[in-house]
Amino acid sequence: MPEISSYTVNFGPQHPAAHGVLRLVLEMDGEVVRHADPHIGLLHRATEKLAETKPFNQSIGYMDRLDYVSMMCNEHAYVLAIEKLLGIRPPERAQYIRVMFDEITRILNHLLWIGAHGLDVGAMTVFLYAFKEREELMDLYEAVSGTRMHATYYRPGGVYRDLPDRMPKYRDSEYRSEKDLKRMNADRQGSMLDFIDAFCDRFSGTIDELETLLTDNRIWKQRLVDVAVVSPERALQLGFTGPMLRGSGVEWDLRRKQPYEVYDRMDFEIPVGTNGDCYDRYLVRMEELRQSVRIIRQCSDWLRRNEGPVILGDHKVVPPSREEMKDDMESLIHHFKLFTEGYCTPAGEVYASVEAPKGEFGAYIVSDGANKPYRLKLRAPGFAHMSAMDEMVSGHMLADVVTVMGTMDIVFGEVDR
């Protein structure tokens, strides 16, 4: 029988590294990948079309479900676009809260990324370290919004409510000893800002531990160094953003280049790579964790010293408080009208984008003056990165396909939309 040198492999969607929703058709020459054809769309939920059938505020929750690891950052872009249409600007305190939670979300995203990427490449312990810290930050989501994932916390005109004065505590349980309970509640005796400061103090050490496990680990470096090298020029041509672009040595970060909210007041560095390989993209994200802690500390310090409203008082856009509704029938009518009909925006088109953990996430809205978008188009960073899959894996081994997918930090909720 003649030897067959070229054959086709169906990678996914059931493969763990394919996130259950990506089908990769790989053309192989032995163990070497010659061509990769990504088949996407298995998670398409018509988010943009659904948003065009609902009042503006009713679609904020859809944004959380796109990149379901970067929830509040997605909300931020959509809410910024609505605020541009309305010509409003949230109170200063709300802007600082948004920036702080954007960075908390960045840490949440990168912790899941390093845990999952480590598992894909064969490093088990990192996952446990990352998720231990992630639980603490999910408690912050729950404390401000009432839910641990799909927060719907950002609203046009500000945020849903101010930071709570006290952090929720773990309760007594037959599964926990008194000593464990005391340890778990050690940082929960004060306000949310006290809890955040305590987390920042401790988390710097956790980043060092993660780097101790991986950065100079020879197996980790053998799997990542010189894999999927993308030059700065090619990264720009492919539409890369975020760590994928900065890993190739391009110092582009919307927080610095096109600052929104109060990012222009923040003191932080933009980490960039030199080689443009998987290892550089790993190093960039690890340094981003440290820079996020710096920004969170600055926001926490400002919020301690400055009180004020966290949402505008315009009842055409923002619902009245419960106290107002109890005493004023007009406020009650405003409440019902806002949640059933919503509000109408001036006709026009706007684009607003944020530096999400995976790259530039943007919302382009066309308004015809109605109470819902005439057209919504979301700019998902992962879609552009996914389009480079063939170029990045060609010539590498089959095992490297998993590494390349990990370095992209793909979430298909936003890729497929």
The predicted-structure confidence for 375-411, as pLDDT tens digits, reads as follows: 999 999 988 898 888 999 888 888 888 889 889 888 8
Whether the pLDDT of residue 117 is over 60: the answer is yes
Pairwise CA distance, residues 61 & 284, whole Å: 30
Whether the pLDDT of residue 349 is over 80: the answer is yes
264-293 residue pLDDT tens: 999 999 999 899 889 999 999 999 999 999
Taken in order of first residue, the domains within the chain and their CATH numbers are: 40-168+182-414 (1.10.645.10)
The residue type found at 39 is: H
Helices assigned H by DSSP within 276-379: 278-305, 322-327, 329-340
Best CA proximity match to 64, nearest among 158, 153, 163 = 153
Q: Which residue has the higher pLDDT, 138 or 321?
A: 138
Pairwise CA distance, residues 365 & 375, whole Å: 6
Average pLDDT over all residues of the chain: 87
10-35 residue pLDDT tens: 887 777 766 778 888 989 888 888 99
Residue 282 exposure: Cα atoms within 13 Å on the Cβ side: 30
Compute the radius of gyration of the chain from its Cα atoms.
Answer: 23
Pairwise CA distance, residues 310 & 88, whole Å: 14
Q: Taking a C-beta distance cutoff of 8 angstroms, is the pair 354, 77 a contact? A: yes
Pairwise CA distance, residues 358 & 345, whole Å: 30
Tell me whether residue 310 is exposed, middle or buried, using C-beta atoms within 10 angstroms of its C-beta: 0 to 12, 13 to 18, 19 or more.
Answer: buried
- Percent pLDDT > 90 in the chain is 29
Q: Taking a C-beta distance cutoff of 8 angstroms, is the pair 366, 374 a contact? A: yes
Pairwise CA distance, residues 272 & 53, whole Å: 41
- pLDDT value at position 293? 93
- pLDDT value at position 1? 45
- pLDDT value at position 3? 56
Q: Taking a C-beta distance cutoff of 8 angstroms, is the pair 252, 244 a contact? A: no
285-335 residue pLDDT tens: 999 999 999 999 999 999 999 888 888 877 777 777 777 777 777 666 767
Question: Which residues are 355's β-sheet partners?
Answer: 360
Q: What is the pTM of this model?
A: 0.90
3-state helix vs strand vs coil in the chain, percent to 5: 50, 10, 35
Pairing of strands 375-379, 359-367: antiparallel
Question: Which residues are 29's β-sheet partners?
Answer: 6, 32
- Please count the other Cβ atoms lying within 10 Å of the Cβ belonging to residue 20: 13
Q: Which tokens sit at 71?
A: 């929830």
